[in-house]
Amino acid sequence: MLGMGNKLRMKKKWIEILSIFFSYVFTFWLLISMIFILLRLSPGDPALKYLSPQLNSHLYDYVKNSYGLDKPVVEQYYLFIYNLFRGDFGISYNYRVPVSSMIMETAPFTISFSLVSFIIQVAISMWVIFYVHKHKGNWLEKSLNKISLFLYSLPTMTIGLVLIYIFSIQLGLFPLSDVHSTNYDELNFFQKLFDLVKHLTLPLITLSLPGIIIFYNYLHGNIEATERKSFIRFMIANGFDKNIVFKKHVIPNSISPLISILGTELGILLGGAVITETLFGLPGLGRLTVSAILTRDYPLIIGCVFFSGVFVLAANFLADLYKLKHDVQLRENFKNL
């Protein structure tokens, strides 16, 4: 009888997971289709560079045909979906290489760059939270409360430009662009490390600053709410060490809701990476996307969106699964559906 109950519960759980999964697949299909349609509707011509008085006018038509742009849009869409299922993103119009290889070339940088930024965001915001909690009411807490909204509202582009102006142009402390020096290959391990740190300091600050503020504000609010809860008051009133209560009870109870915003935060992070990479001339997916959009390189745009979409939706999916496991209210809601 008990076994039957377990099986039923497992079955329900799988149905819940599958329903979430399929809602993501649908969102993903919608995203890709919208991008495809919007690209075809938007003005601009991918074969424009072949329109030149110094080139033969037939070349433009041949190139356009070879891109498949002479076919009806419905047929183009069918081919696009068919190729997508085969894992074929096509050939980049500009670079004349498979889109997948372009993405494989640039995505590792963007992923590691975003990951390092994410770690920095979490680490610094946690440190600040601990510090502020230890020294409640000090200048840092007061000033952070006042300027956090201002820093949060600053666009990534503005942060980057201000940092470049102060630290690169005026003080000359950091390079203006690139991920490393031109003689990087000839450097020893320490020199390479220093070179990377020197080049990536400003981009990482630019990308991480808004995230630090988000995490700080969110955690700060959660911590204050948790600290007001009766079980925490009860523990402190019974003489438990304040620091232990804070580390073992307040923090874990405050972090849990944070997981739900991580998926969204990853999307923000990727959006920020696009701007940061373009601003600092970094060789990532963001810069590639911008360049593809400006030149109407349709296969490359779709490839970049596909990759970013998978990344963001996968993070959201994992966050949803986490919530499903830990959020009782959400689980109850699912059961009642």
Residues of the shown chain interacting with other proteins in the complex, contacts defined by CB under 8 A:
43-45, 48-49, 51-59, 62-63, 66, 91, 94-98, 102, 105-106, 164, 168-169, 172, 175-179, 181-183, 186-188, 190-191, 193-195, 278-279, 281, 283, 287-288, 291, 294-296
User: In whole angstroms, how close is the CB of 332 to other proteins at the nearest point?
Assistant: 50
User: In whole angstroms, how close is the CB of 172 to other proteins at the nearest point?
Assistant: 7
Which one, 176 or 259, has the nearer CB to other proteins? Answer: 176
User: In whole angstroms, how close is the CB of 56 to other proteins at the nearest point?
Assistant: 3
Which one, 143 or 191, has the nearer CB to other proteins? Answer: 191
Sign of CA dihedral 271, 272, 278, 282: negative
Distance CA 240, CA 103 (A): 53
Which one, 119 or 294, has the nearer CB to other proteins? Answer: 294
Which one, 86 or 228, has the nearer CB to other proteins? Answer: 86
User: In whole angstroms, how close is the CB of 218 to other proteins at the nearest point?
Assistant: 32
Measure the CA angle with vertex 255, ends 118 and 27; round to 5°: 65
Distance CA 109, CA 273 (A): 10
User: In whole angstroms, how close is the CB of 333 to other proteins at the nearest point?
Assistant: 46
User: In whole angstroms, how close is the CB of 249 to other proteins at the nearest point?
Assistant: 29
Which one, 271 or 281, has the nearer CB to other proteins? Answer: 281
Distance CA 254, CA 115 (A): 22
Which one, 102 or 209, has the nearer CB to other proteins? Answer: 102
Which one, 204 or 251, has the nearer CB to other proteins? Answer: 204
User: In whole angstroms, how close is the CB of 185 to other proteins at the nearest point?
Assistant: 8
